[in-house]
Amino acid sequence: MDWLYSIIPFQRLHGIFSGEVGDGSSLVFTKLDFWIFFLFATIGLSIVISKRKWVSKTVGFICGILFFKVMLAVMAFSKKGRELVRNIFRGNEQLLMRSIFLTLVSVFFFYKTSGLYVLLLAVSIIVNYVLGKRIYKARSNLRSKWIITFSAIFNLLILFYFKYAYFFTDSFNEMFNTQFELVNHFAQFGNSFFGEGTFVDKILLPVGVSFFTFQNISYVVDIYRKEITPVKNFFHYSFFVTFFPQLVMGPIVRARDFIPQITQYQQLDKKDFSWSVIQIVKGLVKKIVIADFLVVHFIDKIVFTPELFPGFVSVLAMWAYSLHIYADFSGYTDIAIGLSRLMGFKLKKNFNSPYKAKNVADFWRRWHISLGSWLKDYLYIPLGGNRTGSIGSYIAIFFIFVFLIFITQWYELLYVYGGLTVVYIIGLTTIKDFKRYVHRDLNLIITMVVGGLWHGPSENFVIWGAMNGCALLVYKYWSKISFYEKSKLWIVSFWKVFLTFNFITFTRIWFKLDEARTSDLKGGGMTDAEADDLPFKMLDRIWNHFDFSWEVFVTVLETYQAVFWIMLGGYIIHWLPEKVKKIWETAYTALPIPLQAIAVAIIVFLMYQAIGAEQPPFVYLQF
């Protein structure tokens, strides 16, 4: 039997499909384990949607039996319970079996990455599914408002508890010299139910909690706004929330875009198949060849010890970081979009060549589109958007003010808020209709600060979000008086792109160096205070010790020659016109399938030669 074990990696398969919980690092897109998992998932999916009904029904029965084990008691004791089960399984059998199968696959995927925190995901799905139906059936507007309020509180409490509880407890203790200890109530309840030691006492952040929480919120809110109707089948909804290619890192999927696809068949033709493969390979190249190589061989060697290098080297490192974070995150979403299309579902584009942006507003229409549009639709517009303010604007400003108290010193707050107050008082007394601009500016700042906080409870993320918010305000006023805003001269366009790119890169100093507080390896064991000071050390080197010289510049280029070739190639490809990129895609799609397979095999072989001993995780996995 030794020969059989040499052909079939049973030990690896056991590690992937057993009930053992790992740290999730083996089930990321760049690891072989994920692709084995995906292969078996697609084989199972093809059986489930097989035209031979007895095959799909058999597999569906096996998948559904797990659910029946949970629901048998409900069926036995209540008429409503039996009706609930009938409703859950109502609809097209084959599409239903597909949703059941992919829900179980996705839930298992989440379990392998986060263990029994899968129960949190399950509770979140069930509660929001029920709330969506309750809102739709509410007989009065007041009742629906109470339900939507409960939904918002429930979802946001999940997010805040797991993402910000430690931060607020530590900050409160430091500010008021107390010694409160944070209790993991979720773990206590779980241990009392499943047995001691099932959950660790420390609060761990479940992967993807930011993404699936936002998807649940958008579903319930869209029903409240009467933009969609509730999903009739529970498993269609659970599949929408848990779909594993985008579960842990997005893009954030809207119910109105995705759920209609669940109730219809998607035919995968040769063109779609080839396009999917292009996205997957493109994403892998971005991650492995560009993002990982740059961060391991250059960026992390510079940014955590900026005092060891001339200031201009820090600028080069941040230019590299802008390419790194784009290649890393857009690479993930490219793969997620490609995988989804292979399985018959279309996800919207999440990036649109963001470094071609000619201003900050244009950049944020191109970068992390799913998050930007979510914040616009579910925060900025409800606060009043461009037109007016609301009590929500002032409540949000108050809470941001309280949050800033926890992360800064009092005098800093007085200076910032005092200065802004003076500016707006002058505007209100001297400029007609200025009140509308005040509200617009408040709503915009709130949205960008919340966008920063979404990434993590850190002063660095607040600064990063606030700087981008202020830049958006400056652009809105400047665009009204700019003498070259509508110019089509190439030199003007070049200047706009250059200025926008460098501003975005500048703000990312705080984004990147926030890693110092959580990584002993990269940050050298820094305290929070030292980590907070690191961005200012880099700025000091750039501003006061730039020390550019051709001799040193040439030495840096020679030392990191491969890094700069990758940077040059990455930026050139990024800035190429879209029609040029379409030529490559069209040429590949036109090839016969065997030649496509050979081309992919060669690219993958060459790509994996770039993998080093250190394989950094995807940047947005931590969010």
Domain range annotation of the chain: 2-262, 271-351+537-623
How distant, in Å, are the alpha carbons of 88, 104, 164, 179, 263 from that of 236?
Answer: 9, 12, 31, 46, 8
What is the number of H-type helices and E-type strands within the chain?
A: 31, 0
CA dihedral 15, 20, 21, 25 (to 10 degrees): -10
Long-range pairs for 594-602 at CB < 8 Å and ≥24 separation? 596/274, 596/277, 600/277, 600/281
Name the token pair of 128.
Answer: 């929001």
pLDDT over threshold 50, residue 229: yes
How high is the pLDDT of residue 485? Answer: 79
User: Do residues 120 and 206 lie in contact, with contact meaning Cβ atoms separated by under 8 Å?
Assistant: yes
Per-residue pLDDT reduced to its tens digit, 317-372: 999 999 999 999 999 999 999 999 999 899 999 999 999 999 999 999 999 999 99
Residue 163's contacts (CB-CB under 8 Å, 6 or more residues apart) are 205, 209, 210, 456, 457
Band of the pLDDT at 271, cuts 50, 70, 90? confident
Compute the Cα dihedral for 50, 55, 61, 63 and give only its sign: negative
Classified as helix, coil or strand, 582 is helix
Per-residue pLDDT reduced to its tens digit, 515-540: 766 655 444 556 666 777 788 888 88
Per-residue pLDDT reduced to its tens digit, 41-99: 988 888 887 655 555 455 555 555 545 444 444 444 455 555 545 554 454 677 888 88
How distant, in Å, are the alpha carbons of 288, 331, 332, 347, 421 from that of 609?
Answer: 10, 18, 20, 30, 57
Q: 164 or 392, which is more confident?
A: 164
Residue 78's contacts (CB-CB under 8 Å, 6 or more residues apart) are none
Name the token pair of 154.
Answer: 């429930």
Q: How many Å apart are CA 16 and CA 187, to the nearest integer?
A: 25
* Region 106-121 average pLDDT: 86
User: Do residues 369 and 350 lie in contact, with contact meaning Cβ atoms separated by under 8 Å?
Assistant: yes
Q: Where are the alpha helices (DSSP H) in 290-409?
A: 293-294, 300-303, 311-342, 360-366, 369-375, 381-383, 391-407
Q: How many Å apart are CA 402 and CA 389, to the nearest integer?
A: 20
Per-residue pLDDT reduced to its tens digit, 174-187: 777 777 776 666 66
How distant, in Å, are the alpha carbons of 102, 103, 239, 620 from that of 107?
Answer: 8, 6, 9, 20
How high is the pLDDT of residue 522? Answer: 45
Name the token pair of 422.
Answer: 């003076």
* Region 383-390 average pLDDT: 71
* Region 185-190 average pLDDT: 64
User: Do residues 29 and 287 lie in contact, with contact meaning Cβ atoms separated by under 8 Å?
Assistant: yes
Backbone angles phi, psi at 377, to 5 degrees: -75, -30
| CA terminus-to-terminus distance, the chain | 45
Q: 387 or 339, which is more confident?
A: 339
How high is the pLDDT of residue 325? Answer: 94
Instruction: Verify cis geometry, omega within 30 degrees of 0, for the bond prior to 310.
Output: no
Long-range pairs for 381-388 at CB < 8 Å and ≥24 separation? 383/442, 383/443, 383/446, 383/447, 384/439, 384/440, 384/443, 385/440, 385/443, 386/440, 386/443, 387/436, 387/439, 387/440, 388/436, 388/439
DSSP tag of 615: -
pLDDT over threshold 60, residue 621: yes
How distant, in Å, are the alpha carbons of 35, 516, 518 from that of 526?
Answer: 37, 7, 9
Angle at 164 between CA 159 and CA 169, to 5 degrees: 140
At position 18, the amino acid (one-letter code) is S
Centre a 10 Å sphere on the Cβ of residue 396 and count the other Cβ atoms it contains: 20
How distant, in Å, are the alpha carbons of 289, 541, 573 from that of 578?
Answer: 21, 38, 10
* Region 578-597 average pLDDT: 87
How high is the pLDDT of residue 222? Answer: 92
* Buried b / exposed e along 118-149 (16+ C-beta atoms within 10 A): bbbbeebbebbbebbbbbbebeeeeebeebbe
pTM, to two decimals: 0.86
Q: How many Å apart are CA 142 and CA 144, to the nearest integer?
A: 5
Q: How many Å apart are CA 162 and CA 490, to the nearest integer?
A: 49
Q: Taking each helix axis from N to C terminus, what angle separates 311-342 and 550-559, rounded to the nearest 10 degrees?
A: 30
The rounded Cα 198 to chain-centroid distance in angstroms is 28
Per-residue pLDDT reduced to its tens digit, 416-469: 666 666 776 677 677 766 666 777 788 888 888 888 888 877 778 888 888 898
How high is the pLDDT of residue 83? Answer: 52
Taking Cα atoms as reference points, which of 208, 181, 246, 182 lies closest to residue 117?
A: 208
Q: For all residues of the chain together, what is the average pLDDT?
A: 80
User: Do residues 596 and 277 lie in contact, with contact meaning Cβ atoms separated by under 8 Å?
Assistant: yes
What's 269-286 look like in SS3?
CHHHHHHHHHHHHHHHHH
Residue 229's contacts (CB-CB under 8 Å, 6 or more residues apart) are 136, 223
Q: Taking each helix axis from N to C terminus, what angle separates 118-137 and 93-114, rounded to the nearest 10 degrees?
A: 140
Q: How many Å apart are CA 430 and CA 357, to the nearest integer?
A: 34
Q: How many Å apart are CA 536 and CA 521, to the nearest integer?
A: 20
Band of the pLDDT at 410, cuts 50, 70, 90? very low
* Region 222-238 average pLDDT: 90
Strand residue runs (E) in 418-549: none
Angle at 203 between CA 198 and CA 207, to 5 degrees: 90
